[in-house]
Copies of this chain bind each other. A is one copy, B any other.
Amino acid sequence: MNLILLDPSEVKGAYAYLTDTRRITHLREVHRACVGDYYTVGLQGGKMGKAQLTELHETQATFTLENLNELPPPPLPVHLVLALPRPRMLARTLEHVTALGVKNITLLHSKRVEKSYWQSPELRTEKIHHHLVLGLEQARDTQLPNVALCKGFRPFLEEQLPELLKDRRGLVAHPGMPNACPRNIDGNVLLFVGPEGGFIPWEVEKLLEAGCEGMHLGPRILRVETAVTALLSRLF
């Protein structure tokens, strides 16, 4: 926890009040917090700065906010379309990509996504929110990503893709494509990452027909969480 991310409901004037066990335990046990210590804090969706811990009890921590005038780090200019990974991989991937600065995520169904994944408790709004918050706390960022769920590949293709490609370069990461992942590019990207086992040929074909470019990350088969981090780091 490199940043204490404050929900608007936790701030009253120049004071912030935390009452959740997770962060209070973390402050006590990991940071070994003492009254008087300074921490980096940020307002969800807003600016960051320092705050002094002025009270610490079992169930509440009080901070006095200094000037919060620091901007969060810039976002990555990418909309990530991720074939829904299995639940534990999803959780970690959301944390990685949030820490890396992704602000738009669509979780998409595709042929090789197991249907049962869509029933996972990891997809509950509060669970997703939790992993996004962990990513922001890690990277010292305040801007929550938007996460959309799209349970149909064809509806996505027909109803959403044309609009998304209007002002974005579409890139599909897929093994066996002739071109390697481009490096250090400018402009907005719509990045597709397939499921374990990859997109099926029909899906790749449809994405290319719609105007996306295929590209690969080399001969190694990577886990989704490793591949997504490697792709984002190479692209931007």
Chain B: CB-nearest residue to A101: B220
Residues of chain B lying within 8 A (CB to CB) of residue A222: 99-100, 138-139
- Asked, given contacts A229-B233, A230-B233, A233-B230, whether A220 binds B184 with beta carbons under 8 Å apart, the answer is no
Residues of chain B lying within 8 A (CB to CB) of residue A100: 220, 222, 226, 230
A196-236 interface code vs B (CB 8 A; 1 in, 0 out): 00000000000000000000001111110010011111100
Q: A219 to B231, alpha carbons, bound, how many Å?
A: 19
> Which of A1-21 touch B at CB < 8 Å?
2
Q: Contact between B221 and A140 (Cβ–Cβ < 8 Å)? A: yes
**What band does the interface of chain A fall in when counting residues whose beta carbon is under 8 Å from B?**
20 to 34
Q: A221 to B141, alpha carbons, bound, how many Å?
A: 9
A86-103 interface code vs B (CB 8 A; 1 in, 0 out): 000000000110011100
Q: Judge if A115 is at the interface, Cβ distance under 8 Å.
A: no
Q: A184 to B183, alpha carbons, bound, how many Å?
A: 8
Residues of chain B lying within 8 A (CB to CB) of residue A221: 2, 99, 138-140
Residues of chain B lying within 8 A (CB to CB) of residue A162: none
> How near does chain B come to A71, taking the closest CB pair, in angstroms?
10
A169-204 interface code vs B (CB 8 A; 1 in, 0 out): 000000000000001100000000000000000000
> How near does chain B come to A27, taking the closest CB pair, in angstroms?
16
Q: Judge if A73 is at the interface, Cβ distance under 8 Å.
A: yes
Q: A233 to B100, alpha carbons, bound, how many Å?
A: 14
Residues of chain B lying within 8 A (CB to CB) of residue A96: 223, 226
Chain B: CB-nearest residue to A96: B226
The winner among A95, A141, A233, A234 for most chain B CB atoms within 10 A is A233
- Asked, given contacts A100-B226, A230-B100, whether A220 binds B139 with beta carbons under 8 Å apart, the answer is yes
- Asked, given contacts A96-B226, A99-B226, A233-B233, whether A141 binds B220 with beta carbons under 8 Å apart, the answer is yes
Q: Which are the 6 A-B pairs with shortest beta-carbon distances?
A: A230-B233, A139-B220, A73-B219, A233-B233, A229-B229, A2-B221
A-B contacts, 18 of them at CB < 8 A, read A73-B218, A95-B223, A96-B226, A99-B222, A99-B226, A100-B222, A139-B220, A139-B222, A140-B219, A140-B220, A140-B221, A226-B229, A229-B230, A229-B233, A230-B230, A230-B233, A231-B233, A233-B233
